[in-house]
Amino acid sequence: MRKFLAALLALAPMVAAAQDPAVPIFTEQSAASGLTTAYLGDWQYMVGGGAAVFDCDADGRLDVFLAGGEGPAGLYRNRSEAGGDLRFEPVAGMNLTAVAGGYPLDVDSDGVTDLMVLRVGENHLMRGLGDCQFENANSQWGFDGGDAWSTAFSATWEPGATWPTLAVGNYVNRFEEAFPWGSCTDNWLHRPNAEGTGFAAPLPLTPSFCALSILFSDWNGSGIRDLRVSNDREYYKGGTEQMWHVAPGAEPRLYIEKEGWKRLRIWGMGIASRDLDADGFTELYLTAMADNKLQVLNKPAEGAPLLPQYSDQAFKRGATAHRPYTGGDLRPSTAWHAQFEDVNNDGLADLFVVKGNVAKMPDFAADDPNNLMLQRPDGSFFEAGALAGVASMKVGRGGALADFNNDGWLDMLVTNRWEAPQVWRNDGTGVDARWIAVDLQQAGSNRNAIGAVVELRTDPPQRREVTVGGGHAGGQLGPLHFGIDAAEAADVRVIWPDGTVGVWAEVRAGETAVLAN
Amino acid sequence: MEPLRLTGAKRAGPSRRALLLGAASMALLAGAPALALSDTRSTEVLGTWYKLLLELIRHTATYSPPVASRAFAYLGVAVFEAVASGDPALRSLAGQVNGLTAGPVRENAAYDEACVLHGALVHALNAHFGNTGPTGQRAMAAMTERLGAVAGAGVAPDVMARSLGFGTAISEHILKWSATDGGAVIENMGFPYEYTLGAQPSSWAPTSTVAVQQRPLLPNWGNNRAFTLPADDPCGLPLPTAYSEEPTSAFYAEAMEVYEVSKTLTDEQKSIARFWSDDPMLSPTPPGHWISIALQIFERDAVPLALRAETMALLGMAIADGFIACWRSKFEVDLLRPITYIRRLIDKKWEPLLNTPPFPEFPSGHSTQSGAAAGVLAALYGTNFAFTDATHEDDGIAPRDFASFQAAAEEAAISRLFGGIHFRPGIEMGLVQGACVAGHVLKVNTRA
C-alpha cells in the first residue's frame, strides 16, 4: 500500500486542473550562476543558512549575500541582464565566517543599505559604503554584537525614533553538550541610544525560547509594531510561541493569557507574512516539522475587543506542506524559509517554502522538495513545485523570491546545507499577466519606510506590510513586487509608517514606481 | 533540578511486595542509610543515563506515549538483567516474561558491575534512539564518554573491557527479543498512511488541523506482544456507556459533565490538568512522568541498586503493558472525543483546556498506565508512600505532593476530565484496567 501511495504521490502533481492557477516555468541556472557559497558546518550550523537580497551597488539589480556557516560567507554582485540569464560574481572583502544569516536595512539612514550579519559568535552590523563595500560598524554605532548562536532578526523604527530598534533571536547555549535542552539563551532588543548616535545596551527579552524567526508587525492596526517570535520547541522548557509588546518608551512586555494570547508550541522555524485578503490584518505562515501553520487573526464579534488569537487555516486551505508532494519519500517534511510573493502575477500572493532535513534524521524526509504553492481565487493553495520545475531534493535552508533579472517575474534562490545554492529563472506562465513594482522612499530616517502599508485597488484588492525580519535567517530590501493579472495599471497608495495616508497613484503595468513621503 | 523536598511520612509500613522482595529492600524501607560503595558508580551511571533518556523521549519525534512506554520497558529489563547478572539475590526475567529467553552468561573472570551496566545502557540507548536528531546524538556521545569515565574509575582496563562487552551482549539479547514484538518500526511518527475511519456517529473523528493527525495514532499497537499479560486475560474492559445524542441519555450527561466542568474550572483544577498533561515532544510523556517519579525517589531515599533495577524493569513493563491493553480497548470501542460530541451537539465553539490527543477516547491511556504504575510502585515501596513530584519543574510547573502512588494515579486520571479530553467512564475504567495490568506484572519474581 505504501508503494502504491508513493506512486500516486509521484504522479499527482504532474496534473493541473483547469481551475488551477497558471504555473510559471522556472529554469534552473545554478551551475552557471556564479553562486557557490554552500552552508557548511556541523551541529552549530544545523539551523540558519539564510540569504540577504538587496542592491548593494545601486545599479538597480538585486545582489546576494549568503551565509556560509563554518565556511566563508559570500557576497555576490548581480550581473544579470534584463530578461536574461541569472549571473552573479563574487565581491571580495567581506571575509566573514561563522555566519548564520543576514538581513539588509539602512540602519543609519544615509541612503546606502547596511547589512545585519547573524553569527555563531559576535553579530556584526556592517555599514554599507557603496559599491558593495562594507565596514564593521559595531563600535561606531555602539552595537553590542554579543556572543551567542544568533538565528533570527527583525527591525522597526519606533514612533519618533531616528534609528531603528533591532531584535535578535538567539538559539541554544552552544556550549552545552549532554543536556542542551532548556538552555535557550536570551533574545536581545537593541534600541536607539538617547543621543541618537547608535544603540543603547541591548535589553534581554526574558524569557526566550530558542527563536528561529522573529518579526515586527503591526498585527492589529494600532500603529505599534509588536514583536512576534516563533520558537523551536525542540529546545525550550516551559516555552511557547511569543509576542512582545514593544511600545515606545516602555519596557518590552509579553502578551499574556489574560490579554487573549494562546499557547502554541511548535518547532517554529520560519515566518512568512502577508495580508492575503486585504482585510487590514496580516496573515502568518509558520514553518515547522511535519506541520505548518497558516495563521489568520480571529475577527471579534461586534463590540468585542480584537485579541491576538489566530485560527490555523493551513489544512483547510491546502497549505500544510507536511510531507513531500513528489519523489516518493512519504516521511514528514522539515520546513525552513517561507515567503509570500506573487510568482505568476495573477494578483494573488503565492507561498514559497524551503525544505530540508535537519541533518540525516531518519524519521523525516530525506528527499524533501521545496514547495511552491500557488494561491487560487478562493484562498486555497495548489502545489506547483514539480510542475514549475523547482522541486529540488537538496537539503534547503534559506531562500528568496526576487526579480534578479528585472523582467517582472520573480526568480527563486535557495540555499542548501553542505551544497552550493540554487537559482531558478522564472520564465513566466505563458499568460499575459502583468506586474508593477513599488519603491518606497522617505526623507530623513527610515529611508525605506519599514512599517508602511502598501495598498492596491486591484481585483481582488491587495495589501502588504513592509517589514524587515521573518523568513529563516535572511531577508530582502528592494522594490515591492505586485502581480496585477491582465490589468494595464493599478492604483496604489501608501500608509506611511507615521500613519500618514498617501494619495492613490496610478502605476502602469511593467513600471517600478518610486513613491516618496 | 533541585533536590526533592520531603513531605510528610515517607511510608506507612511495608507492602506485601516489599516483604516478598526480601532483606535488601526491607533495609531500604526501614530507612537504611547509604548505598554500598560498590553501588555508587552504578547508581550514578543509571541515574544519569535515565535523565538523558527522559530528554531523548521528549525530543525524538517517534516517541509518542505508547512508543515511549515500550522503550522504558526494554531498557528497564536490560538494566535489570545487567544488574541481576552480578547479583545472586536477583532472578533473571528470562522465562518469566513473554518470549524472553536466557541471555549471555559471564565467563569465570572478574567483572565490574558499573561497567556492565554502562555497557548495557550505551548499547540500549543507541539502539532505541538511533533515530534521534543531531542534538540527541551529540548528547549520547558526550554521555558515553562522561559516564564511561565514572564507571571505569579505578577499574583495570581488561576488567572494564570485559564488563562493557558483557553489558553490550545483554542489551543485544534484549534488543533481539524486542524486534519481534510488533512495535519496533514506527513510520510517519506513528500515524498510518492508510486508515478507514469508523462510520458510526460514535466513531472517533479527527480533532485537529494537523494533517498527519487526520488518522489515529498507532491503531495496531494493541496487537503488540505484551510483557506480562497472558493471552487469556489481556485486561479487557466492558463497553462504555452506550452512545446517544438524546439530551436525556447517560452519554449526553457524561458529555455535559465535561462541558460544565470546563466552564467552572478552578485554578487548582487547571494546575492539575497541566501538571499531568505530559504532551509528547513537550514533556517526557505520561510514561516518562512515572519514570521520573521513580528517579526522584531513588535520589531522595538512596535506594539500593538492586531495587532501582527492579523498579525500572517492573515499572517499565507495567506502563508498556498498560498501553498495549489500553490501545486494544481504544480501537475495539473506537469512541469519539468530547470535543467532537460537544461541538456537534452542545457548543460549536467549545475549546477544552488541553489539546485533544489524536486517537480514540475509551479508555484514558494516562489513567490506565498510571493505574498500572501506581500498582507496581505501591507494591515495591508501600501503599501509603508519600512523595513530592517535581517532574516538570524545569518547565515552570510547580511540584505537587502526594500521599500515595494511588493518589497520584487518581489525580492523573481525573486531570483528563479537567483537561476536557475524556469522559468520566474512560478515566475510571482506565484505572481499573491499570490495576489489572499491575496484577500481572507483580507475578514476575525478581528475587532468587
Do residue B211 and residue A291 have CB atoms under 8 angstroms apart?
Answer: yes
- pLDDT score of A15: 55
pLDDT, tens digit, for every residue of A108-117? 999 999 999 9
Q: Which residue has the higher pLDDT, B422 or B34?
A: B422
Q: How far apart are CA B9 and CA B7, in angstroms?
A: 7
Q: Is residue A169 within 8 Å of residue A186, measured between CB atoms? A: no
> Which B-chain residues 182-201 have CB contacts (< 8 A) with chain A?
186-189, 193-194
B310 CB neighbour count, 10 Å cutoff: 27
The complex's ipTM works out to 0.92
Report the alpha-carbon distance of residue B441 to residue B317 in Å, rounded.
Answer: 7
Looking at residue A504, its amino acid is W
Task: List the one residue out of B53, B52, B56 whose CA is nearest residue B132.
Answer: B56
What's the average model confidence in pLDDT over B376-400? 98
pLDDT of residue B280: 96
Whether A67 contacts A105, CB under 8 Å: no
The 8-class DSSP code of residue A2 comes to H
**Per-residue pLDDT band at A7 (split at 50, 70, 90):** very low
Separation in Å, CA of B56 to nearest CA in chain A: 10
DSSP 8-state code for residue A309:
-
The reported pLDDT for the residue numbered B20 is 41
Residue numbers of A between 264 and 283 with CB closer than 8 Å to B: 265
Q: Which residue has the cell 520545475?
A: A389
Answer whether B334's CB lies under 8 Å from B416's CB: no
Read off the pTM.
0.94
* Closest by CA position to A76, among listed A102, A44, A108: A102
Helix (H) or strand (E) holding A3: helix A2-11
pLDDT-based confidence at residue A16 (cuts at 50, 70, 90): low
- Each residue's pLDDT tens digit, B309-356: 999 999 999 999 999 999 999 999 999 999 999 999 999 999 999 999
| Cell numbers standing for residue A462 | 491587495
**Chain A residues with CB inside 8 Å of B394's CB?**
182, 237-238
Residue A13 has pLDDT above 50, yes or no: no
B282 touches chain A (CB under 8 A): yes
Q: Which residue of B has its CA nearest to A3?
A: B193
pLDDT in tens, B113-124: 999 999 999 999
The answer to whether the CB atoms of A331 and B210 lie below 8 A apart is no
Give CA–CA dist A45/A397, Å, rounded.
10
With bands split at pLDDT 50, 70 and 90, how would you rate the model's confidence at B34?
very low
- Residues B57, B75: Cα–Cα separation, whole Å: 12
Helix/strand/coil (H, E, C) string of A64-95?
A: EEECCECCCCEEEEECCCCCCCCCEEECCCCC
Number of other CB atoms surrounding residue B180 within 10 Å: 10
Grid cell of A159 as nine digits:
514612533
Residue B1 lies in a domain: no
Report if residue B325 sits inside a domain: yes
* Candidates A238, A313, A358; nearest CB to B396: A238
Count Cα neighbours of A430 within 13 Å in the Cβ-side half-sphere.
Answer: 6
Q: Do A363 and B142 touch (CB under 8 A)?
A: no
d(CA B118, CA A70): 35
pLDDT given for residue B447 in this prediction? 96
A351-376 pLDDT tens trace: 999 999 999 999 999 999 999 999 99
Q: Is residue B140 part of a domain?
A: yes
State the CATH number of the domain containing residue B431: 1.10.606.20
Q: What is the pLDDT of residue B9?
A: 33
Cβ distance B212 to A234 less than 8 Å, yes or no, reads no
Q: Do B186 and A359 touch (CB under 8 A)?
A: no
Domain assignment of residue B302, given as a range? 17-185+195-441
In whole angstroms, what is the distance from residue A264 CA to residue A258 CA? Answer: 15
Contact B138 A362 (CB under 8 A): no
For residue A387, pLDDT beyond 60: yes
- Residue A5 touches chain B, beta carbons under 8 Å: yes
Inter-chain CB proximity B139 and A234 less than 8 Å? no
CA of B190 vs chain A CAs: smallest distance (Å): 10
**Which among A177, A315, A361 has the least Cβ separation from residue B138?**
A177
Sheet holding A26-28, edge to edge: A26-28, A422-426, A411-416, A396-402
pLDDT, position A434: 98
Residues of A with CB below 8 A from B60's CB?
363
Q: CB distance A361–B142 less than 8 Å?
A: no
* Residues in chain A within 8 Å Cβ distance of B139: 177-180
Q: Which residues pair with A516 in a beta bridge?
A: A441
B5 in any annotated domain: no
Cell of B351: 475549546
The rounded distance, in Å, linking the Cα atoms of B344 and B338 is 10
DSSP strand pairing (A74-78 vs A88-90): antiparallel
DSSP H helical segments within A344-390, as ranges?
385-388
- B322 touches B237 (CB < 8 A): no
Backbone angles phi and psi of A254, in degrees to 5: -70, 145
Q: What is the mean pLDDT of chain B?
A: 93
CA of residue B237 relative to chain centroid, distance: 21
Of the candidates A42, A320, A363, the beta carbon closest to that of B131 is on A363
Distance of CA A288 to the CA centre of its chain: 14
**For residue A365, what is its C-alpha cell?**
524526509
- Chain B residues touching residue A330 (CB < 8 angstroms): 188, 193
A194: left (phi over 0), alpha (psi -120 to 50) or beta: alpha
Question: pLDDT digits over B77-114, tens only?
Answer: 999 999 999 999 999 999 999 999 999 999 999 999 99
Cβ contact B210–A291 (<8 Å): yes
Substitution target from A45, A331, A363, A364 for chain B, most B beta carbons within 10 A = A363
| B134/A43 Cβ within 8 A | yes
Rounded-to-integer distance, Cα B290 and Cα B283, Å: 12
Distances (CA, A) of B444 to B17, B216, B321: 11, 33, 13
3-state secondary structure chain B: CCCCCCCCCCCCCCCHHHHHHCHHHHHHHCCCCCCCHHHHHHHHHHHHHHHHHHHHHHHCCCCCHHHHHHHHHHHHHHHHHHHHCCCCCECCCCCCCCCCCCCCCCCCCCCCHHHHHHHHHHHHHHHHCCCCCHHHHHHHHHHHHHHHHHHCCCCCHHHHHHHHHHHHHHHHHHHHHHCCCCCCCCCHHHCCCCCCCCCCCCECCCCCCCHHHHCCCCCCHHHCCCCCCCCCCCCCCCCCCCCCCCCCCHHHHHHHHHHHHHHCCCHHHHHHHHHCCCCECCECHHHHHHHHHHHHHHHHHCCCHHHHHHHHHHHHHHHHHHHHHHHHHHHHHCECCHHHHHHHHCCCCCCCCCCCCCCCCCCCHHHHHHHHHHHHHHHHHCCCCCEEECCCHHHCCCCEEECCHHHHHHHHHHHHHHCCCCCHHHHHHHHHHHHHHHHHHCCCCCEC
B135, pLDDT greater than 70: yes
The minimum CA-CA distance between A362 and chain B, rounded to whole Å, is 6
- Classify residue B274: in a domain, yes or no: yes
**Vertex A131, ends A126 and A132: CA angle to 5°?**
40
Residue of A291, A212, A148, A275 whose CA lies nearest to A471: A212
pLDDT band at A93 (very low <50, low <70, confident <90, very high): confident
Strand partners, A75: A65
When pLDDT is cut at 50, 70 and 90, the band that residue A14 belongs to is: very low
What is the CA A146 to chain-centroid distance, rounded?
Answer: 24
Residue A2 has pLDDT above 50, yes or no: no
- What one-character DSSP code corresponds to residue A403? -
Q: What would the DSSP string read from start to end of A7-54? A: HHHHHGGG---TTSPPPPPEEE-HHHH-----BB-SGGGSS---EEEE
Alpha helices in A142-289 (DSSP H): none
Residue B1: closest CA among chain A residues belongs to which residue? A182
B146 close to A (CB below 8 A): yes
Give buried/exposed letters for A72-103 (b at 16+ CB in 10 A, else e). bbbbbbbbbeeeeebbbeebeebebbbbbbbb
Whole-number Å distance between alpha carbons of B139 and A178 = 4
Q: What are phi and psi of B289, to 5 degrees?
A: -60, -45
Please identify which residue in the block is written with the cell numbers 511486595: B17
pLDDT at B36: 58
Question: Can you tell me the mean pLDDT for A327-331?
Answer: 96
Give tens-digit pLDDT for A409-437.
Answer: 999 999 999 999 999 999 999 999 999 99
Q: B383 - beta bridge partners? A: none
Residue of A nearest to B142 (CA): A178
Number of domain units in chain B: 1
Residue A19 scores a pLDDT above 80: no
The 10 Å Cβ neighbour count of residue A277 is: 15
Asked, for residue B422, whether it belongs to a domain, the answer is yes
User: Are residues A330 and B211, on separate chains, in Cβ contact within 8 Å?
Assistant: no
Touching check for B394 and chain A: CB below 8 Å? yes
User: Distance (Å, rounded) from C-alpha B123 to C-alpha B144?
Assistant: 10
Q: How far is A331 from chain B (nearest CA, A)?
A: 6
- Residue A358: its chain B contacts at CB < 8 A? 133-134
Give the dihedral sign, CA B67/B70/B74/B77: positive
In a domain, B65, yes or no: yes
User: Is the CB of residue A316 less than 8 Å away from at least one CB of chain B?
Assistant: yes
Please report, rounded to a whole number, the percentage of residues in chain B having pLDDT higher than 70: 92
CB B337, CB B356: distance < 8 Å: yes
Mean pLDDT of B262-285: 98
**Structure confidence at residue B236 as a pLDDT band (50, 70, 90):** very high
Give chain A's mean pLDDT: 96
Q: Report the pLDDT value the prediction gives residue B39, as an integer from 0 to 100.
A: 84
CA distance B234 to chain A (A): 30
Chain A CB within 8 Å of residue B139 CB:
yes
Q: Which of B385, B444, B392, B393 shows the shortest CA–CA distance to B409?
A: B385
- Kindly tell me the burial class for residue A159, based on how many C-beta atoms sit within 10 Å of its own C-beta (0-12, 13-18, 19 or more): middle
Please identify which residue in the block is written with the cell numbers 562594507: A134
Confidence of residue A130 (pLDDT cuts 50, 70, 90): very high
Which among A43, A290, A315 has CB closest to B138? A43
- Across the interface, of B131, B142, B194, the residue whose CB is closest to A177 is B142
State whether the Cα torsion B180-B184-B188-B189 is positive or negative.
positive
| Residue B26 scores a pLDDT above 60 | no
Nearest neighbour of A178 by CB, restricted to B130, B139, B279: B139
Q: In this structure, is residue B387 part of a structural domain?
A: yes
**Burial label, B158 (beta-carbon count in 10 A; 0-12, 13-18, 19+):** exposed
Here the cell at position B292 is 521520573
Q: Decide if B361 contacts B417 (C-beta within 8 A).
A: no
- Is B139 in contact with B122 (CB distance < 8 Å)? no
User: Does the beta carbon of B220 lie under 8 angstroms from any beta carbon of chain A?
Assistant: no
